Structures are given as C-alpha cells and as structure tokens.
Amino acid sequence: MTAQLLTSISTEIDLAKLPQHVAVIMDGNGRWAKQRGLPRIEGHRRGAKTLKEMLRYCKDLGIKTLTAYAFSTENWSRPTGEVNFLMSLFEGLLRKELKEMEEEEVCINFIGDISPLPQSLQQEMRHSTERTKDNQGVFFNVAINYGSRNEMVKACSAIAQKVQRGELSADAIDENTIAQHLYTSASGDPDLLIRTSGEMRLSNFLLWQLAYTEIYVTDTLWPDFDTRQFDLALQSFQQRDRRFGRVK
C-alpha cells in the first residue's frame, strides 16, 4: 500500500465512506486501439492490464468487492477472431495470474452461463475458483457469458421448479427468493457502477442488482482508466445523497 493510496488521500477521498462493492462496464477497448492504429485485440490486452490495476487498487483501499463485465451473452456476435482472442486471453490470464491472486488474497468467482465456453477455459475457471475460495482480501467477480435477462429467466425457472416439486410455496416468493437464485447470491448489490467510454447504457448488466446503485459514467476509454480516474469516480460517489427511495 503505497503512493496509490496517498493519491486518494490527496484528492480528498473519505476512506471511511468508500463503496463496499464496485461494478465496472469496461467499455472502449476497441476505440482505444483504433485511435492508435492498433488491432482491437490490443485494446483488450491493455484493458486486462487496467483491470488488474483496478483490482489491486480496490484491495489497497479496502473496497471489498469488484465485479467486472468481461463478456456478455451478446458479445458472441462479434467477429470470430475477436471472440476467440477474448476466450484465449481470459484463459491465459487466469493461468498466468493465479499465483499472484493467491498471494494477494483474491477470491475469484465467475457469473454467467459457463457451459458454452471452451472446455479448457471452463477448467481454468473452476480451478481458479477452487484455489482462491478461502481468500478474504478482495472478492473479484468476473462476468463471462453473462446476460442479466438470461440470469433472471434461469432464476424464475429454478423457482418454478421448486414450487412444482412442492419445496416452495408460491406465496412465499419475495425479493430475497429472487436474489438468492441469481449468480450474485453471495456478493450483494453494487454500491457504485462505473462505465467507461461515455455510453449511457446498462447493456444487460446486473439489471436486478443495480436497482439502487449509484452510476458514474466517464468519457475515458477503459484502457486509459487509472487510479486517478478511479479516485474521481469515488469522489463523485461520496457526493451522492443515497436515499434508497426514502425522504430524509
């Protein structure tokens, strides 16, 4: 914990009022690469580096959970070469970074439907989850083949089956029942959502979980998002009056 934390203090961040859970839509990798005359995949490579820096920064600050949108159910319609690159990037990173994640007390989890992913990637995902499951330093959720509507359909179907089998009464279904059947059942709702590259959309990300989340959109492209940018997002979060629908 070093200069990075000092940066925060100097930009007047109240370390006692940090979000506990931050979610990120890492947008703009392709544009970042295009601006530099590079192939789109270079943007993703650089974006992965940014994500690693953000995870470390969250841990240093004491932000408990970081949830990152790495690949959506809609991203399959990208050019095959880009999809294949992303799959092998995820797999390579998990293999390369596992030791460091263990040392840094990262607990990694995946949200989304992993069944259509390459077998070797699925294996790496299961392996890294298993190896880091007892870590408590920082909780890192990675959304891969994630779509919020699909997640809700799956939850409804699982709940309906329980009702059909007589394990649950239809009258007993409440918000908690739904939340417990989502991929995120263990991690709770984000306090802050950051979206880079200026797009004002949720893009099928955590639609249920973001109900009362503060949203911060920056024009900065994801590969350029650094600790200083993160500080600005945290500052903005700390200026918000979170009422959760109540009157103060």
Which residues are identified as catalytic? 27, 75
Residue number with CB closer to ligand FPP (21 or 181)? 21
Shortest gap between Cβ of 25 and ligand FPP (angstroms)? 8
Over the range 30-61, which residues count as b (16 or more CB within 10 Å of their CB) and which as e?
bbbbeeeeeebbbbbbbbbebbeebbbbbbeb
Shortest gap between Cβ of 68 and ligand FPP (angstroms)? 6
112: left (phi over 0), alpha (psi -120 to 50) or beta: left
Shortest gap between Cβ of 185 and ligand FPP (angstroms)? 21
Which residues are 192's β-sheet partners? 22, 214
Q: Which residue is nearest to ligand FPP (CB)?
A: 30
* Alpha carbons 35 and 19: distance in angstroms, whole number: 33
Total interface residues for ligand FPP by CB under 6 A: 18
Q: Which of 19, 30, 112, 190 binds ligand FPP (CB under 6 A)?
A: 30
* Alpha carbons 84 and 152: distance in angstroms, whole number: 27
Alpha helices in the chain (DSSP H): 3-10, 29-35, 40-61, 80-103, 119-132, 148-164, 175-180, 227-238
32-61: contacts with ligand FPP (CB under 6 A):
44, 47-48, 51
* Alpha carbons 1 and 128: distance in angstroms, whole number: 25
Q: Which of 13, 26, 61, 63 binds ligand FPP (CB under 6 A)?
A: 26
Of the candidate spans 13-21, 28-36, 112-120, 211-219, the one that interacts with ligand FPP by CB under 6 A turns out to be 28-36
210-239: contacts with ligand FPP (CB under 6 A):
none
Where does this chain bind ligand FPP (CB under 6 A)?
26-31, 44, 47-48, 51, 68, 70, 75, 89-90, 93, 142, 197
